[in-house]
Structure formats: C-alpha cells, structure tokens
Amino acid sequence: MLNGTTLNALLPAVRNKGLWFGTLALVFSLSGPASAQERELLNSSYDIARELFAEYNELFTEHWQEKTGEAVNIQQSHAGSSKQARAILQGLGADVVTYNQVTDVNILAERGKLIPEDWASRLPNNSSPYYSTMAFLVREGNPKNIENWDDLVRDDVELIMPNPKTSGNGRYTYLAALGYAQEEFGDDQEKIDAFLSDLLGHVKVFDSGGRGATTTFVERGLGDVLLTFESEVNNIPELNPEGNYEVVVPKVSFLAEFPVTWIDANIEKKGTEDLARAYLEYLYSEEAQRMLAGFNYRVHNETVKAEVADKFPELKLMPIQEIAGSWENAMETHFSSGGKLDQLQRR
C-alpha cells in the first residue's frame, strides 16, 4: 500500500507526464498506515481534488512540522461529494471534509448530528476558502465553435457532464445552465424549461462524478464539450498538452463555493481537534491560496488575486440565492425524485 510520502513523491512525475488520468485509480486511494509516532488525519473530499490535496498535504505537513515539531500522516478519500457524505453517515471516520457543495456538508449536521448547524460560520467566507465556476472544454480548434450556453444545444453537439443526481459538480452545471436561461429568457418559464430539456438531451454520457466525466471526454474521446469546473478544464490542457484542448468560459455561470469543515464528533473521539482545525485554517494562508490558484481555483486573498488576475476572465457569477432561492429549495425543486430535473429529462 502506498503511503502519503510516496504519493507526494509520485505526483510531480505524474503531473509532468500528463499520465494522471490512467494512474489515479491506483495511486490516490486511501494511503497506507502511518508509523507509530505519527498522528493521522483523514480528509474526505470530492473526486477531482486528488492532485490538489496531494500537493496541499505536503505543504501543510511541512508547515505543521516546522510549527510544532510533529510529523503527521494525511490520508485521503475521494469520490463524488454526495457519496462521500453518505460514507461518513455510515461510519467513515473522516476528521475533515473538503467538499464542493454546501448540502453535502449540511447533511452531516442535519441527519448525522456530527457537526453543529452553524458550521459555515466557523471559518471565513462561509467556510469556503476558494471557489470556482462552470466552464467548457472543447477539442483542438474548437471545431463546433462553442462560445456560450446556447451553442451547446445545436444539433451537431454532444455533451459530457457529471450526473446531477450523484454529483455536486453536475448540480452546479445544471444550475449554471439554469442561470443562463433565466438571464436569457426572463420570466418565460416555458422557454427556460425547453432550453434545459434540450441541453440535457444533448448529453451523451452522464458520469457519476466529475473525474469520471473528464475520463470519458479525454481518455475515451467521447463528446464535443466537457462541462465541469473551470479549475478542471484549465488543469486538463496543462497536464495533457498533447491532447490539444481549448477552454471556453461562458459570460454567465454559477458561483461554485467549496465548503470545508472539521467533523466534531470524529475529532473528539480521535484526539485530532487541533490538527483538523489547523489543516483547514491553513487553506486561507497566502502560501496555500497561491497553491490553490496554481490549480486554477479562484481565491479570496487579495495579494494572490492580483497576481493571477490574468488567468481568470471576468464573467457574471450567479449565487444559488439568485438562481434558486436557496440550496434547500434547489434540492427539493430540481433534484429530488420526480423534481424538475426528472421532469425535463422526460420531455
């Protein structure tokens, strides 16, 4: 079994050679047991954050050892964030979660009683140290001339995206498309529904998570457009320069926040309170914010934002409140069984 040190040693070679799509399933599973003198921390995270947290873990462990003299072992568990949250409810002993949707954290409070309901107030920016939006990845030369959301519903365009039923990434994509339709069609609900139904009908493959969608588009070569996080579509060309992909950022999209929290019930049992809190608090440091920006996430630190301003095109970012009122309303109205998503797919 590979341990955390081995994983971090392998990462630069994997990233430089652009081979990570084929190796992640083997490399980024739970790391092996720590040595007897090390404390362990388990981070439960969303599925396209493997490379990000492999690098962050190295950054944090160096910081922590320099600060305290303690060597620690950081383990990772990755899948769609909704799946990860269910695993914690079923007993996965994660110390911290770093997810891509607020509802997947809320369920740990509402159903599991593992964290307080006001968890989002414990860290800055509603406990979201970084954020992103939804964007498109197209093939070399942009042969289908994709520029905005309305181009996705042309007859000759096939889409790849995560399934909104199983993936926070997929729900963000759906809500971004909804936000565009609301901007475009105003209060004309019939036109909004028709656009969304048309867009969903152009999806060739609904993968269970964001990384699966990337694999389908990149390795299997299916589809004309991959719909996923801006961070992911920017990472792909950087890690696979031979793939000849291009990034398209639409003018209107969704504000995708990435909530984090420690799991009170678990860290109290394991005696990792100080370590878990420090692990998440350090995400807000200038050094960590610069690393996050290096993975093409948008960050809050003003110094780092100024340094990377050219990387991120300006666009209208619509929060959940503007599109659906609240996450609770979005989940009930659009993603529940028999909800709007199901209705649109049956049209």
For 217-274, the three-class secondary structure string (H helix, E strand, C coil) is HHCCCCCCEEEEEHHHHHHHHHHCHHHCEEEECCCEEECEECCEEECHHHHHHHCCHH
Strand partners, 160: 205, 226
Higher-scoring residue by pLDDT: 311, 3: 311
The helix/strand count (H/E) of the chain reads as 17, 14
Tokens 């092996």 locate to 32
Question: Buried b vs exposed e over 62-92: b needs ≥16 C-beta within 10 Å?
Answer: ebbeeeeeeebbbbbbbbbbbbbbbebeeee
DSSP secondary-structure letter at 60? H
Report whether 75 contacts 42 (CB < 8 A): yes
- Residue 195: closest CA among 153, 237, 239: 153
User: CA 195 to CA 188: how far, in whole Å?
Assistant: 11
- Residue 100: closest CA among 162, 57, 160: 162
What mean pLDDT do residues 178-198 have?
Answer: 97
Higher-scoring residue by pLDDT: 211, 206: 206
List pLDDT tens digits, range 54-87: 999 999 999 999 999 999 999 999 987 888 999 9
What mean pLDDT do residues 15-32 have?
Answer: 38
Residue 5 in tokens: 């040190």
What mean pLDDT do residues 157-172 have?
Answer: 92
- Say what percent of the chain tops pLDDT 90: 79
pLDDT at res. 211: 87
- Spell out the alpha helix ranges (H) of 1-44: 4-17, 20-27
Report whether 298 contacts 131 (CB < 8 A): yes
User: CA 21 to CA 74: how far, in whole Å?
Assistant: 22
- Residue 38, pLDDT above cutoff 90: no
User: CA 292 to CA 305: how far, in whole Å?
Assistant: 11
Residues in the chain: 347
List pLDDT tens digits, range 236-250: 888 777 778 999 999
- Residue 233: closest CA among 282, 162, 158, 163: 162
- Say what percent of the chain tops pLDDT 70: 89
Specify the pTM.
Answer: 0.81
List pLDDT tens digits, range 274-320: 999 999 999 999 999 999 999 999 999 999 999 999 999 999 999 99
Q: Tell me the chain's radius of gyration from C-alpha atoms.
A: 20
Strand runs labelled E in 71-211: 72-78, 96-98, 130-132, 134-139, 159-162, 203-207
Stated as kind and residue range, the H or E segment containing 53 is helix 50-68
List pLDDT tens digits, range 245-271: 999 999 999 999 999 999 999 999 999
pLDDT, the chain, mean = 89
Tokens 């990845």 locate to 137
Work out the pLDDT band at 336, boundaries 50, 70, 90.
very high
pLDDT at res. 37: 61
Q: Of 115-119, 165-169, 241-245, which one has max mean pLDDT?
A: 115-119
Helix (H, G, I), strand (E, B) or coil at 143: coil
- Residue 173, pLDDT above cutoff 90: yes
Phi, psi of 65 (to 5 degrees): -65, -40
Higher-scoring residue by pLDDT: 9, 340: 340
- Residue 30, pLDDT above cutoff 60: no
- Residue 6, pLDDT above cutoff 80: no
**What's the distance, Cα to Cα, between the start and end of the chain in Å?**
48
Work out the pLDDT band at 33, boundaries 50, 70, 90.
very low
